[in-house]
Structure 1
Amino acid sequence: MGQWDDKFERAARQWESFRLPEYAQSDRVLGRIIEDKAREHPYREVFQFRDHAITYEQLNQQINRVANGFLALGIKPGDKVALMLPNCPQFLTSWFGLNRIGAVSVPINVALKGNGLAYQIDQADCVALVASDSYLPALDAIAEQLLKLRHTVMVAAGQPVVLSAWPGVQSLDFEALADRAETAPAIVVDFRDLATISYTSGTTGQSKGVMISHHYWYEIWAQAVKYSQYTDDDVLYTGLPFFHTSAHGTTGPAILTGAKAVLVERFSASRMMDDCRTWECTSAKYIGGILSILMKQEPRPEDADNPLRLMVGAAAPKHLWHAFEQRFNTRLLELYGMTECNSCLVNPMHDRRAGSCGKAISGYDVKLVDECDNEVAVGQVGELVVRPQRMYLGTSGYYKNPEASLELFQNLWIHTGDLATRDADEYFYYVDRKKQALRRRGENISSFEVEAVLNAHPAVLESCVVGVPSELGEDDVKAVIVLKDEHSITEVELIRWCESRIAYFAIPRYIAVRQHLPKTPSERVEKYLLRNEGVTPDCWDREAAGLVIAR
């Protein structure tokens, strides 16, 4: 292990001497924090995109140019702008540029297609869209549904840039948008102002837009620094997508501490550890599937010789926990949370328990309740409910969805819809989803939305979508189909039907065609029966068939 033998001890000493900069409540505004860092450390590198490094001063200047570009388009404080971009510098400068003028960023999952894509852009009242021109085919298909959109700003995937050509919508190149003055706009943003609308996966119905204020973002960043014990000596790594809040557990803490973040386009099992060695990364983000995939890689003599002292994330398979730490000479820090209550449970750094998603140490009260909201006893299964201990911590609700907001905050506690148990030492252990949701390779999938696409096929009478255990951890998608009388369809035809209508990661791996679905007397499908039976002999397997789907 050589030079990395003492990495844990050195990190502990650095944390003991580090003092996290404190910002007054009124200064907990994203643009204000970045401006402060640019004054304090203008030439320090904050982000690394492959071979391209960005200093705090350069970041601040680029944000100002983009912010002034948005103002020139007529974007005002409170306006909503969708961001449909891969991991790239333009995502961050657009996000922070919008927030600098009091506008609201709406990150969009780049795999979305069809009505699901149109719904999020329209429901958020987006007046502008910043997108990679590689996503134009999916956007062109739903352009007529985007009646509130006035501008598109296209980021070139190649050269030259391809602009949208939608009637009544102005389109321009991102480079033209950002060709503005570096002077900070004279707009005062309040810490309580809305900064981001982040859409859920739509676990039991239509996706909901989680409202995130400037102050809530600050809390997410500051708490991540504390439970991960980040300092200005850290180099943080992520390949998780920017349109998910989990990726900003890397970008935000780097800004707040004066550290550096190494950001790559996407996770690569063959490249990740080499990346971390190249840039001397001390921490990396994971989801459960990432750990399984890394463990399936052929062992290499240098596996343990890496600078990573910590990997932070969720859904680490218990059976891999100790083997992973030993093989890669690092430590896993497990979290639990939702966009609505980010990282409400954390495994304490120096008292971690394999298999636990943590304790309530980051500003939230957490308990388990039964269906009547009565707290359950130690060891019993209950729904996780969460309550912030401080003002402006957590979401203020769902955008333009008061009914769902009231349901979320039932009895003044955030109801997560997830089931867990708790031991006598207040460690929580995740059990299952109460909601009808699946999780595959880090992506939350709505069974409701997948079923809607399947049921729209002329040959399908009804369907049920459940998750079955994947060999890589988390779920694979299984669909049970009932066909209409005198109709037939092949599994390949069903997959191709889904391919243009839902995200690739939501397309079923397994398909079983049956005569009927199991139902209760009230005609509700008994999904648990289909989930519990797993992969049955009548399941056609897309991967075994060698069918490749487009992304």
Structure 2
Amino acid sequence: MEANADPATIADLVAAQAARDPAKIALTFVDVATDGTYRTELRSYADLQRNGAALAKRLAGLGLRRGDAFALMMANHPEFVEAMLAAALLGAVFVPIDPRTIGEKLSFMLEHAQCRGVVCSSDCAAAIADLGHTALSWAVTLGEPTKAAAIAPASLGYAAAIKDGGSPDRIDISAAETMMLMFTSGTTGNPKAVVISHGAYMSRARGMHGIDLGADDVLYTGLSLTHINAQGTLRIGLTSGLPVVISRKFSKRHLWPICRKFGCTVFNLLGGMIPEIYSIPESPDDADNPVRLIISAGMPADLWREYERRYGVTICEIYGSTEGGGALTNPSGAGPLGSLGKPPPGLEAAIFDDDGRRCPPLQPGELRFRRMDGEPIRVSYFRNQQASYDKTIDGWFRTGDVVHEDENGWFFFHYRIGGGVRRNGDFINTALVEAALIKSGLVSDVFVYGVATPRNVAGEKTLVAAVVPSDADFDQTALVEYCATKLQKRDIPEIIQVLREIPKTISEKPIERACIERLHQDGLLS
């Protein structure tokens, strides 16, 4: 389904949809109550337009001006989207922050992005108050936080902020102006803030290469709106006029029940979520669901057909990045299982070695992209000119991922630069090991990674499998014996790390450094 227009901002987009069908439900937010029932909050296009405008007027009264930044920190609530609309109406910049962020990292993000204020939930307000002094001038909070007065000089509840209605003065926003600053995960240090313009955000909704949506589709996401993936689902739904169902937070146990109850037909699945979902014991009615398409990122070849068979779906693999410098797509039946795909028309992808030479087929190297029309790909990290400069070279966008291309132009992922696991001279395909372990039925979640120890030769690592047992009677010996029958000797983990849960980012990506810290704490590296 194609977009009906090319609006300049997300606020213009919602206004256009509201003019066509104001009462149509655009967003359904789902929260799981303690008794397992589902509580919903609905927003029509008219609701979004009205509340976004009212919030914008109030924020303008608090001093928010064009170009000013404010933090947006909460789990998935309707107010998150309304705050996005308010920012667009004012020409302000919103800064999504993982609602679990606390302490020094939170302080860094607020300061680095130069946030003037914050729109947040009560629990996040408490985390901000715990920082002590901040440069925030105002705060708008959901509910009634106990520490509201400590956040900023001007603090008020969200309901009070929008109760008088109204809208701000009209501001014409150009495509080049900054819409938001989205922080990277910061797995190797302080996160970088990617500058995303209105034009870049809106253009991605028109670039769904390899994905066909119909008038009856219902989109779903359980990922946080502070992550670019969930933002993509939101953007595509609003652009195409398709309803979007959004969970307060991801739950593998409630994924399929929610899709059944709300008629969801399409959802996204990221690498860390894939083994979690598959680990749920198979049931005869697994395929009894309305989902027709899963858009995945990191689907292992060994699980690709299993997902399609078990759940009665098709898989479309898509590779991309927060920076938006390139993309690959592998629709179901188009390319080899496990391939990231091929680039869309107008974009060239190639593999380069460490000396900047293009690699022949089957030789791994860094994946890079460039536009075929010669226009340079530009990446901007807020207040980090050197990182912005380093992200491109000779017109090519550098992904930082090691990939190889086969003889037919299909690309395959190996590892993130700096994160590969080299063992006995070869790099281990950790996704393959994870797929094998999850099929054992002995674990409900798994993350395979490498850690350097004094026993390793230079450049090599010890292979670790962090696992969450499926039940209390977990037998580690049985898992080791299973590995011996299903994996090549070089792929068998040397350390089995048993955890209650695997630490993950807001996008369900395992946090390697946290797992390594636990290894040291538990004495597994001694």
TM norm. shorter chain > 0.5: yes
TM-score bracket, normalised by the shorter chain, equals 0.7 to 0.9
Alignment of 1:202-221 (within 5 A): 202-221=186-205
Q: Quick one: distance in 2 between partners of 1:304 and 1:188? A: 48
In the TM superposition, residue 83 of structure 1 has moved relative to its aligned partner by 1.0
Structure 1 match to 2:142: 155
Deviation at residue 541 of structure 1 after TM alignment:
4.0
CA distance in 2, matches of 1:349, 1:468: 20
SS at match of 1:76: coil
- Residue 431 of structure 1 is aligned with which of 414, 422, 429? 414
SS in 1 for 2:207: helix
Deviation at 1:519, TM superposition (A): 7.7
Counterpart in the other structure of 2:277: 294
Shift in Å at residue 188 of structure 1? 1.4
Q: 1:108 to 1:394 in 2, by over 3 A?
A: farther
Consecutive unaligned residues of structure 2, counting only runs of 5 or more, are 31-39, 422-429, 439-444, 465-489, 503-517, 519-526
RMSD: 3.0
Q: C-alpha separation between the residues in 1 aligned to 2:78 and 2:373?
A: 33
Aligned to 1:175: 159
Show the counterpart of 2:447.
475
**Per-residue CA shift, 1:455-507, capped at 9, x if unaligned?**
xxxxxxxxxxx999654577357777xxxxxxxxxxxxxxxxxxxxxxxxxxx
Equivalences for residues 105-504 of structure 1 within 5 A: 105-144=94-133, 146=134, 148-156=135-143, 160-166=144-150, 169-183=153-167, 185-224=169-208, 226-341=209-324, 344-348=327-331, 351-361=334-344, 363-389=346-372, 396-436=379-419, 471=437, 475=447
Q: CA deviation at 1:349?
A: 5.3
Distance 1:266 1:544 in 2: 16
Q: Distance in 1 between matches of 2:383 and 2:197?
A: 15
| Partner SS for 1:372 | coil
SS in 2 for 1:271: helix
* 8 Å contact from structure 1 (residues 163, 171) kept in 2: no
Paired with 2:432 and 2:360, the residues of 1 have a C-alpha distance of: 29
Contact persistence 2:125–2:141 (CA under 8 A): no
Aligned to 2:22: 42
Aligned-partner Cα distance in 2 for 1:118–1:149: 11
Q: Is residue 8 of structure 2 the alignment partner of residue 28 of structure 1?
A: yes
Length, aligned pairs only:
454
Q: Check the 8 A contact 1:129/1:152 in 2, yes or no.
A: yes
The one-letter code of the counterpart of 1:155 is L
Instruction: State the Cα distance separating 1:19 from its structure 2 match.
Output: 4.1
The residue aligned with 1:458 is none
- 1:65: which partner in 2? 54
2:194 alignment partner AA? V
Q: Aligned residue for 2:66?
A: 77
Gaps of 5+ in 1: 1-17, 439-465, 481-513, 521-525
Cα distance in structure 2, aligned partners of 1:127 and 1:294: 40
- Deviation sequence 1:186-207 (CA, Å, 0-9, x none): 1111111100111112244321
User: What amino acid sits opposite 1:277 in the alignment?
Assistant: R
Which stretch shifts more, 391-400 or 76-85? Answer: 391-400
Opposite residue 48 of structure 1, the aligned amino acid is T
In 2, the alpha carbon distance for the partners of 1:92 and 1:331 equals: 30
For the residues of structure 1 that align with 2:378 and 2:394, how far apart are their CA atoms? 16
In structure 2, distance between residues paired with 1:95 and 1:368 = 37
Tell me the distance in 2 between the aligned counterparts of 1:89 and 1:35. Answer: 16
| d(CA) in 2 for partners of 1:127, 1:315 | 37
Change (3 A) 1:394 1:235: farther
**Paired-residue identity, %:** 25
Distance 1:389 1:125, change over 3 A: farther
Measured in 2, the distance between the counterparts of 1:308 and 1:168 equals 45
- What secondary structure sits across from 2:57 in the alignment? helix
Q: CA deviation at 1:242?
A: 0.9
- Distance, in Å, in 1 between the alignment partners of 2:229 and 2:497 is 34
Q: CA separation in 2, counterparts of 1:44 and 1:66?
A: 21
Change (3 A) 1:407 1:396: closer
Scaled by the length of structure 2, the TM-score of the pair is: 0.79
Q: Deviations over 1:344-383 (max 9, x none)?
A: 1111455143100111016532111011222110111010
